[in-house]
Amino acid sequence: MEDVNNLYKYLNDKYIKPQRTAVLCGTVHCMMIIEELGLHLWKKYVIAPLKAEMLTLVLGALHDDRTGLSMTFKEKEIINGVLQSLVAVEKYEKKENSLKLYEMIFEVPFLEETSEHYRLEASRLLQEGVSKFMNKILERLDEEDVRSVEFLQISSYIKVRRICEERMVVDKLEAIQNECPTIVQNERKDDLRNAFKLLKLTQGGLSVLASQYGEHIKKQGLDTVTSPIQFVEGIINIHSKYTLFTNTVFSNDPVFVSARDIAFSAVVNQTTKGRCKTPQFFATYCDYLLNKSRKDGFNTEVDEKLTKFMDVLRYLNEKDVFENNTWRLLAKRLLFHSEIISEGEEALLDKLKLACGNHLGTKIRQMLADSTFSFDLTKKLKEMTKIDSESFQVFSVHVLRSRTWPIEQSTSSFAVPRELEKSAELFEHYYPEELKGRQITWLYNLSEGDVQLNYLNKQYTITMGTFQIAILLEFQKTDSKTCGELMGITKLNPAQFQNTIQSLVNSKLLAVAAGKQDYSQPSTVISLNTDFWSSRSKFRLETIPETEATTSFIIKDRKEYLQAVIVRIMKSKKNLHQNVLIQEVLSISKSRFDASVELIQECIKTLIGKKYLEETSTNEYSFCGIENGLAGLYGLVADLSENFHKVIYNFRHEYRSFLRIIRARRSTSCNINEKVESVFGDDLLISPTGVV
């Protein structure tokens, strides 16, 4: 038609178009240009009378193409030309919707036929099994997309796609979801990938598959072994596996990433008898990596393990407990195993500080500084005392700053054995002059030494604590002693004494008669085990661990942290309702631990008592300011001081008045209480009644 229009272009331009302009003014009858006239005649004499037969032939050809009877290139051109003509004939129509004829004659019947075809096709394919069904459905959807692009108008693409999805996916959604547990459990990647693609097409269809996926990950994680190192490495391996799985199968879809994270959070924060052991396991694993980096250096393997461990660490809720245990294990390592860390350990600690933040990083930095100072100091003192004392050459001292190390001074008194007194006195004598102003407190509960056993058939060298050494030294001249005698000699308190004796009995160095293991009784007899045997000639004797101090320290640290968070929030907001304040505190503290509402309320009351906050109305607080907070610390002292001066002043003034009354009535008998009450009121009461 365009060729004919171009052939008569001169006629259109010189005659018909001017006439059309006149038509607009209403002077002559309407005239059409050649192309418009041709399209009008095509619509009137071809499309209108033949539309039913034409529709039947077009739908039949498209149906054959869907069922596998491919059309020739010529047939495709004919079908495409017919459908394009339904749009082209409306080219010169003054209508808002130029596709109205196309939609009325072809699109509506085509969509109905498409819906019926794929309804039957989906039922037929489902009989072959869900796995094949999902694969075939995806193929049908892709084929229909290609067919739409080849024959249909752009506006029809979405309509056809929606009908295909409704008939083949939405209508069969239950069958697909029922298959999800099986394919998730067996980890059939192709089926999972197909199910993901199909269920994503439905509203909320991914929830069932994501839930099954999360439960599967959780089960895999909970089935890991309970040994600390194996548990953490098992969690790391599972996390690496399902992170890759989520990426390759589910394209890192947020729904499945969230399901994976929830599952790992449940695994990492699992509790046994109300207690979560994961923070201790994670800290032990960090210590294991430090050992490995010390032996093998900070190689690619250690770096990769640490990176993967950091990915898992973010799921831990009680990060403060992990940091505390890591802090304690590092302190134990520096005190009892290695004074100076290797380059590999230092690189590992740098990455750990970067991951955990300044809270742990500052402590580690200060501890390393103390260890370096202690190593240099011990080396210097050994050079200075080389002539004076040979025994000091096997003596090393750790000089630790208080509040930097996770150590607590033992409340038990202790009588230092004579064998250890000389070395301690030498250290205090040669202690550097520039540090003389500092107070030295010996931590005997953390000290240890090597004891050589020579009374057995085999010689043993055992590393043990100072309290254990003190008790064991008492058996050099005798084979048995009572608990009362040992406690009197060592001066240990009952709890520390029982803990020390229990560790020696458990190691079988000492023995106690069966049924008489009550170490609190002074008459209980402790004997030296002369039949002791061990396959190792050199080993370390561990004491019974104490967890109460660690727990109380963590609770105290949490309270201080929450108080700091509350002050920071209130300093910014000035006034807040209690519920809003609690929610903000929970949001901030979540990165370190899950705080309870009761603990937050307790911290709020503490800050009110310190006058950092004040309760302006029911459950609403306002910030008083740092100055008021500091004033709260000194308020009581200031009030007492001021009141004391007032009382003294009033007492002196009223006492003079009282003396004047006595002098005026020197010869008169009176009740002293009457006069005192008249002067002082009820604030002062003199109990005896006397006559002047």
Question: Which tokens sit at 626?
Answer: 């740092």
Determine the pLDDT at residue 684. 28
Q: What is the reported pLDDT for 195?
A: 93
Q: Is the pLDDT of residue 269 over 70?
A: yes
Q: Is the pLDDT of residue 213 over 70?
A: yes
| Bigger pLDDT: 548 vs 275 | 275
Report the amino acid identity of residue 503. S
Instruction: Provide the pLDDT confidence category of residue 390 given band limits of 50, 70 and 90.
Output: low
Q: How many CB atoms lie within 10 A of CB 607?
A: 22
Interval 91-125: pLDDT, tens: 666 666 678 888 888 889 999 999 999 999 999 99
Average pLDDT over residues 377-391: 67
Of 475, 510, 467, 512, nearest to 492 by C-alpha is 467
What's the average model confidence in pLDDT over 295-302? 75
Three-state DSSP at 275 gives strand
For residue 549, is pLDDT > 80? Answer: no
- Average pLDDT score over the chain: 78
Quick check: 228 pLDDT over 90? no
pLDDT digits (tens, 9 = 90+) for 642-651: 444 444 444 4
Indicate the class that CATH gives domain 548-624: mainly alpha
Contact 370, 405 (CB under 8 A): yes
Q: Say which residue the tokens 């005190």 belong to.
A: 335
Confidence band, pLDDT 50/70/90 cuts, at residue 243? very high
What is the percentage of the chain residues whose pLDDT exceeds 90? 18
Res. 274: pLDDT tops 50: yes
32-171 CATH, one of 1.20.1310.10, 2.60.40.1150, 3.40.640.10, 1.10.3430.10: 1.20.1310.10
Please report the pLDDT score of residue 5 as a whole number.
Answer: 60
Q: Is 577 in a helix, a strand, or coil?
A: strand
How many CB atoms are closer than 10 A to CB 341?
Answer: 20
Cα separation, 681 vs 670, in Å, equals 17
Which of the listed ranges 7-16, 134-143, 529-538 does the model predict with the highest average pLDDT?
134-143
CATH architecture of 269-380: Up-down Bundle (1.20)
Average pLDDT over residues 132-142: 93
Backbone angles phi, psi at 538, to 5 degrees: -140, 125
Question: Residues with Cβ < 8 Å from 84, sequence gap 6 or more?
Answer: none
Confidence of residue 555 (pLDDT cuts 50, 70, 90): confident
Handedness of CA 384, 385, 387, 392 (dihedral sign): negative
| Domains of the chain, residue spans | 32-171, 269-380, 447-546, 548-624, 629-680
- DSSP string computed for 449-494: EEEEE-SSSS-EEEEEEHHHHHHHHTTSS-SEEEHHHHHHHH---H
* pLDDT (0 to 100) of residue 17: 61
pLDDT of residue 169: 92
Residue scoring higher pLDDT (259 or 642) = 259
Q: Do domains 32-171 and 269-380 have the same CATH topology?
A: yes
The structure tokens 């590992």 sit at 348
Query: Distance between CA 322 and CA 307 in Å, rounded?
Result: 17
128-132: long-range pairs with CB below 8 Å, 24+: 130/175, 130/176, 130/178, 130/179, 130/191, 131/179, 131/183, 131/188, 131/191, 131/194
Topology annotation, domain 447-546: Ribosomal Protein S5; domain 2 (3.30.230)
Q: What is the mean pLDDT of the segment spanning 457-468?
A: 88
The pLDDT tens digits for 645-689 are 444 444 444 445 444 444 443 333 333 333 333 332 222 222 232
Is the pLDDT at 225 greater than 50? The verdict is yes
Q: Write out pLDDT tens, residues 492-545.
A: 888 888 888 888 988 889 998 876 778 888 888 899 988 888 888 888 887 655
pLDDT at 403: 73
pLDDT above 70 as % of the chain: 77
- Average pLDDT, integer, range 185-202: 92
Distance CA 146, CA 125 (A): 21
Q: How far apart are CA 309 and CA 316, in angstroms?
A: 11
pLDDT of residue 286: 86
Are 430 and 378 in contact, with CB atoms under 8 Å apart? no
Query: So what's the pLDDT on residue 404?
Result: 78
By the 10 Å C-beta count (0-12 exposed, 13-18 middle, 19+ buried), 127 is classed as exposed
